[in-house]
C-alpha cells in the first residue's frame, strides 16, 4: 500500500514539474483578424481568415492515437473535450495575457507616405510583463545569420544552439514546423538528427529533465501534436501530419504558442521566460503583416525564436521550388512564397528581352509572366537573394535568436553567405529603414526611380517575330505552329501587329524616362556614390540607372526598326515572316543616344566588376550580354504539311507547397 501511495504522489509531482499545457493535443485555431498596411510595402499584407464553421476543411489532420501514444506521455484527451484558442490581434486588446493593449498596427509618417508611398510604422516598444525583467538584446545580423549545407547540418546547428542555452533550470522548446508536403524529407532528417540530442537530455532517476520539448504543426491553422515532455519528440516530428492548404500562417502560430505558454506558466518565474521556439520552414509565410506585433509579444515575454528558413527572392515575395512528380518522373518548378529579402522593393521592374542562357528556357509547371510582374523568365524572376526573407530574419534577430539559411536539393545556391554579409539589407523596423532613406538624396533617388517602374504598364517583352504562327502569352512564349499566312495575308496583317507592339513600347518608354528623371542632374551622383557607405546601395545605383538607360535605348531601337520594316522596299516580295534580333549597331545616330549607351555600359560593367559573387553581378551581366541595337531577318515560310492527330497532353495535378 505504501508503494502504491508513494507512486501516485510521485506521478502527481511529475505532472506539476513538467507542466503540460491545458490544451493537450488540441488544435489551436487562430483567427488572426485583419491588418491594414500600404500595398507598396514589400511585406505581404493579406491574412486569410479561418472561419469557425470551415475549420474541418483547413485544419491539419491529427495523428492517429495508436501512432501518437508513444510520443505523448500524458495521453491524448478524449475527442469530445476539444477546445479552440482564438488569438485576435487588433487595436483594442492585448495579444498576450496581461500585456497592455497594442497600438494601431501601421502609424503613418506623413513625409515617407508622400515621398515613398510607404506607411512607415515604428517598432513596437518593449513592454516587459514582469517587474525587473529586461528583454534579451537583439542579435547582430553578422552573428545571427548563418547557412547550412543540408537539413542535417541545419538540425545539428539548432541542437548546438539550444544546448548552449539550457544552462540552469529547465528550457522549454517548441518545434514549430511547417506542415507542407514539401518538407516531408526535411522532417525525417530533423527527427533522425535530433534523436541522440533528445536522449542526451532525458531525465535521470530522481532528477528533473532540463530540456522540455513540444511539437506544433502549422499551415492554415496550428495544431499541437506533441505535448511538453522531457522524453523527446523525434517520433512525432517524423510522422507530422500534412497540411494540404498551401497556406503558412507562421506569425499567427507564434502568437498561439507564446500565448498558450504564458497562460500555463505566467505565475511561475522559473519558467515564464524560458520558452524557445524553433521554426522550420521553406517559405516566408502568408501573415507577415503581423510581424511587429509578434516581435513585441516575444520580447515582452522573453521568448527567443530560432529559424531555419529558405533564401528569399531578390526584390519579390514569390519564387519557385523544384518538385519531383513520381507519376510523370518529371521535375517541375512550383510557385512558393519565399521573400522578399528587404522591407522595401529595391529592384527595378524591367524585362530582359532575349534569353541568353539555356537555363532561362523551357520550364514546365510555372507561368512566370501570367498577369504578374516581369523580371525576365523563371531564371531571373526567381533569382535567389543569397539571404533570408526580411520578415523571418527580423523576427529571429529581434528576439535574440538566429536565422539559418537552408536551400533544398535542386535549388541553385549561387552566392556565398560570407560574401553576402557585405550586402545585407536593413533589418530594422519600417521607420528605422525609411528615415535614413529620406535623409539620403542618393538612396531616395534610387527608390523613387524604382517605384516609377511599378506604375502598372505592361513591361513584358514585345513580340519579336511576325507573323507566321503565333506565340503563347506566357513564358517562355513558345511558337504555336499550324497557322500559316501567304505573302498577301502577311502584308495585310503586318501593319496592325506592328502598331500594337509600338503602342506598348511607347508606354513603357514613358515610364523609363520618368524613372530616369528621378536622378536629378543637379546632383553629383558620382560624388554621392563615393561617400555612400553601403555596398548594397552602390550596387543598386549602378544596376538601376544602368538598366534604365539601356532599356530606354532598346525602346527607341525597337520603334526605329518597326519604322524601317514599314518603309517601302524594305521587305523582299516573298517574305512572310520577320524575326527581330539583337544587333551591335544602333539605328539612332544622335549624340544623346550614343552618350546614353556609353553611360549604361559603364554603370553596368562597374556593377558587374565590383560585385562579383552577388546577384547584382548576374543581373548586370545578363543585360551586358545582349547588344542594345535591333536588327531583323526575313524568312519565307512554306505551308506546313498535315500533322498526325493530336493525342492531347496529360493533365498533372500539383500539390500546394
Amino acid 128: pLDDT = 72
Amino acid 280: pLDDT = 97
Q: Provide, rounded to the nearest whole percent, the portion of the chain with pLDDT above 70.
A: 68
105-121 pLDDT, tens per residue? 223 334 555 666 666 66
pLDDT at 477 over 60: no
- Domains of the chain, residue spans: 14-310+388-423, 439-635
pTM of the prediction? 0.79
Task: Compute the average pLDDT of residues 308-332.
Answer: 76
- Give 629's strand partners: 583
Q: Confidence band (pLDDT; 50, 70, 90) for 88? A: very low
pLDDT at 214 over 90: yes
Longest Cα–Cα distance in the chain: 112
432-453 pLDDT, tens per residue? 999 999 999 999 999 999 999 9
- 79-88, 342-351, 530-539: which is most confident: 530-539
Amino acid 475: pLDDT = 52
Q: Which residue has the higher pLDDT, 616 or 66?
A: 616
Least confident of 111-120, 121-130, 197-206, 630-639: 111-120
Nearest Cα neighbor of 276 from 429, 389, 163, 128 is 163
Amino acid 396: pLDDT = 98
434: CB partners within 8 A, 6+ apart: 109, 112, 116, 118, 120, 344
pLDDT at 346 over 60: yes
pLDDT at 80 over 70: no
Task: Compute the average pLDDT of residues 504-520.
Answer: 95
Instruction: Indicate the average pLDDT of the chain.
Output: 76
Amino acid 263: pLDDT = 80
Amino acid 378: pLDDT = 64
Task: Compute the average pLDDT of residues 318-336.
Answer: 69
Q: Which residue has the higher pLDDT, 211 or 329?
A: 211
CA distances from 603 to 299, 547, 606, 607, 612 (A): 44, 9, 5, 6, 14
Least confident of 80-84, 140-144, 275-279, 559-563: 80-84
Q: What CATH number has the domain spanning 14-310+388-423?
A: 3.40.50.410
454: CB partners within 8 A, 6+ apart: 40, 345, 349, 373
Amino acid 124: pLDDT = 80
Amino acid 645: pLDDT = 61
Cα distance between residue 323 and residue 143, in whole Å: 33
pLDDT at 96 over 60: no
Beta strand spans in 403-468 (E)? 403-405, 465-466
Q: Which residue has the higher pLDDT, 594 or 553?
A: 553
Beta carbons within 10 angstroms of residue 635's beta carbon: 13
Least confident of 220-229, 450-459, 482-491, 562-571: 482-491
Amino acid 394: pLDDT = 97
Task: Compute the average pLDDT of residues 64-81.
Answer: 27
Amino acid 182: pLDDT = 86
Q: Which residue has the higher pLDDT, 323 or 367?
A: 323
DSSP state of 409: T
Amino acid 341: pLDDT = 92
Task: Compute the average pLDDT of residues 611-637.
Answer: 92
Amino acid 13: pLDDT = 39
Q: Confidence band (pLDDT; 50, 70, 90) for 72? A: very low
Amino acid 593: pLDDT = 87
H or E element in which residue 248 lies:
none
Q: Which residue has the higher pLDDT, 476 or 205?
A: 205
- Give 28's strand partners: 222
Q: Confidence band (pLDDT; 50, 70, 90) for 89? A: very low
443: CB partners within 8 A, 6+ apart: 436, 437, 532, 537
Length of the chain: 657
Amino acid 630: pLDDT = 93
Q: Which residue has the higher pLDDT, 322 or 173?
A: 173
5-57 pLDDT, tens per residue? 555 444 433 333 322 232 222 222 222 222 222 222 222 222 222 222 222 22
Q: Which residue has the higher pLDDT, 57 or 314?
A: 314
Amino acid 216: pLDDT = 95
- Give 404's strand partners: 146, 308
pLDDT at 393 over 50: yes
pLDDT at 172 over 60: yes
Amino acid 650: pLDDT = 59
128: CB partners within 8 A, 6+ apart: 134, 135, 300
Amino acid 112: pLDDT = 55
263-284 pLDDT, tens per residue? 877 667 677 788 999 999 998 8
- Give 316's strand partners: 313
Amino acid 456: pLDDT = 75
Cα distance between residue 376 and residue 8, in whole Å: 68
Q: Confidence band (pLDDT; 50, 70, 90) for 99? A: very low
401-444 pLDDT, tens per residue? 999 999 877 666 678 999 999 999 999 999 899 999 999 999 99
Q: Confidence band (pLDDT; 50, 70, 90) for 603? A: very high
Amino acid 61: pLDDT = 33
Amino acid 392: pLDDT = 96
Least confident of 188-192, 243-247, 269-273: 269-273
Amino acid 141: pLDDT = 96
CA angle (139 as vertex; 135, 145 as ends), nearest 5: 145
Q: Which residue has the higher pLDDT, 48 or 478?
A: 478
pLDDT at 163 over 80: yes
Amino acid at each position: 500500500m505504501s508503494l502504491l501511495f508513494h507512486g501516485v504522489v510521485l506521478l502527481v509531482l511529475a505532472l506539476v514539474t513538467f507542466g503540460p499545457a491545458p490544451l493537450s493535443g488540441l488544435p489551436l485555431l487562430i483567427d488572426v483578424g485583419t491588418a491594414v498596411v500600404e500595398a507598396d510595402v514589400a511585406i505581404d499584407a493579406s491574412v486569410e481568415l479561418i472561419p469557425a464553421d470551415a475549420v474541418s476543411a483547413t485544419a491539419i489532420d491529427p495523428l492517429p492515437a495508436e501512432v501518437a501514444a508513444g510520443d505523448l506521455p500524458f495521453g491524448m484527451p478524449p475527442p469530445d473535450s476539444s477546445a479552440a484558442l482564438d488569438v485576435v490581434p487588433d487595436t483594442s486588446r492585448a495579444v498576450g495575457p496581461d500585456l497592455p493593449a497594442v497600438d494601431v498596427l501601421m502609424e503613418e509618417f506623413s513625409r515617407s507616405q508622400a515621398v515613398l508611398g510607404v506607411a512607415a510604422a515604428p517598432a513596437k516598444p518593449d513592454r516587459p510583463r514582469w517587474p525587473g525583467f529586461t528583454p534579451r538584446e537583439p542579435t547582430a545580423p553578422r552573428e545571427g545569420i548563418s547557412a547550412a549545407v543540408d537539413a542535417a547540418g541545419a538540425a545539428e546547428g539548432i541542437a548546438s544552439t539550444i544546448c548552449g542555452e539550457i544552462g540552469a533550470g529547465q528550457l522549454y522548446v517548441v518545434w514549430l514546423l511547417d506542415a507542407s508536403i514539401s518538407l516531408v524529407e526535411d522532417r525525417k532528417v530533423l527527427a533522425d538528427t535530433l534523436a541522440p540530442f533528445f536522449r542526451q537530455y532525458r531525465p535521470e532517476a530522481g532528477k528533473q529533465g532540463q530540456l522540455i520539448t513540444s511539437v506544433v504543426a502549422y499551415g492554415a491553422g496550428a495544431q499541437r501534436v506533441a505535448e511538453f515532455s522531457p522524453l523527446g519528440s523525434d517520433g512525432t516530428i517524423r510522422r507530422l501530419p500534412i497540411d494540404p492548404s498551401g497556406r503558412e500562417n507562421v506569425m499567427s502560430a507564434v502568437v498561439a504558442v507564446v500565448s498558450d505558454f504564458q497562460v500555463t506558466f505566467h505565475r511561475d518565474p522559473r519558467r515564464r521566460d524560458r520558452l524557445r521556439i524553433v521554426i522550420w520552414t521553406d517559405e516566408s509565410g502568408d501573415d507577415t503583416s503581423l510581424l511587429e506585433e509578434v516581435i513585441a509579444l516575444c520580447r515582452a515575454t522573453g521568448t527567443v525564436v530560432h529559424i531555419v528558413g529558405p533564401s528569399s527572392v531578390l526584390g519579390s515575395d514569390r519564387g519557385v521550388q523544384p518538385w519531383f512528380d513520381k507519376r510523370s518522373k518529371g521535375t517541375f518548378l512550383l510557385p512558393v512564397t519565399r521573400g522578399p529579402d528587404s522591407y522595401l522593393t529595391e529592384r527595378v521592374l524591367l524585362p530582359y528581352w532575349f534569353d541568353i542562357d539555356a537555363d532561362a528556357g523551357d520550364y514546365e509547371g510555372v507561368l512566370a509572366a501570367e498577369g504578374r510582374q516581369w523580371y525576365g523568365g523563371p531564371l531571373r524572376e526567381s533569382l535567389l537573394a543569397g539571404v533570408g526573407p526580411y520578415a523571418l530574419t527580423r523576427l529571429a534577430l529581434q528576439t535574440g535568436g538566429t536565422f539559418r539559411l537552408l536551400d533544398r536539393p535542386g535549388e541553385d545556391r549561387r552566392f556565398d553567405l560570407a560574401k553576402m554579409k557585405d550586402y545585407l539589407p536593413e533589418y530594422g523596423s519600417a521607420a528605422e529603414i525609411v528615415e535614413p532613406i529620406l535623409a539620403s538624396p542618393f538612396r531616395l533617388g534610387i527608390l523613387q526611380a524604382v517605384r516609377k517602374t511599378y506604375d502598372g504598364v505592361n513591361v513584358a517583352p514585345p513580340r519579336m517575330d511576325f507573323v507566321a504562327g503565333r506565340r503563347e502569352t506566357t513564358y517562355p512564349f513558345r511558337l504555336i505552329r499550324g497557322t500559316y499566312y501567304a505573302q498577301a495575308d502577311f502584308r495585310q496583317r503586318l501593319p496592325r501587329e506592328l502598331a500594337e507592339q509600338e503602342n506598348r513600347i511607347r508606354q513603357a518608354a514613358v515610364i523609363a524616362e520618368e524613372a530616369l528623371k528621378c536622378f536629378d542632374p543637379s546632383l553629383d551622383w558620382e560624388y554621392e556614390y563615393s561617400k555612400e557607405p553601403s555596398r548594397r546601395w552602390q550596387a543598386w545605383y549602378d544596376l538601376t540607372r544602368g538598366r534604365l538607360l539601356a532599356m530606354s535605348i532598346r525602346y527607341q531601337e525597337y520603334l526605329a526598326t518597326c519604322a524601317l520594316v514599314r518603309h517601302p522596299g524594305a521587305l523582299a516580295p516573298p517574305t512572310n515572316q520577320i524575326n527581330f534580333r539583337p544587333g551591335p549597331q544602333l539605328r539612332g545616330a544622335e549624340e544623346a543616344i550614343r552618350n546614353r549607351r556609353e553611360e549604361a555600359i559603364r554603370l553596368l560593367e562597374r556593377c558587374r566588376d565590383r560585385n562579383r559573387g552577388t546577384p547584382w553581378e548576374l543581373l548586370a551581366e545578363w543585360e551586358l550580354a545582349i547588344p542594345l541595337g535591333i536588327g531583323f531577318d526575313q524568312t519565307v515560310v512554306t505551308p506546313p504539311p498535315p500533322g498526325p492527330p493530336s493525342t492531347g497532353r496529360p493533365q498533372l495535378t500539383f500539390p500546394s507547397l
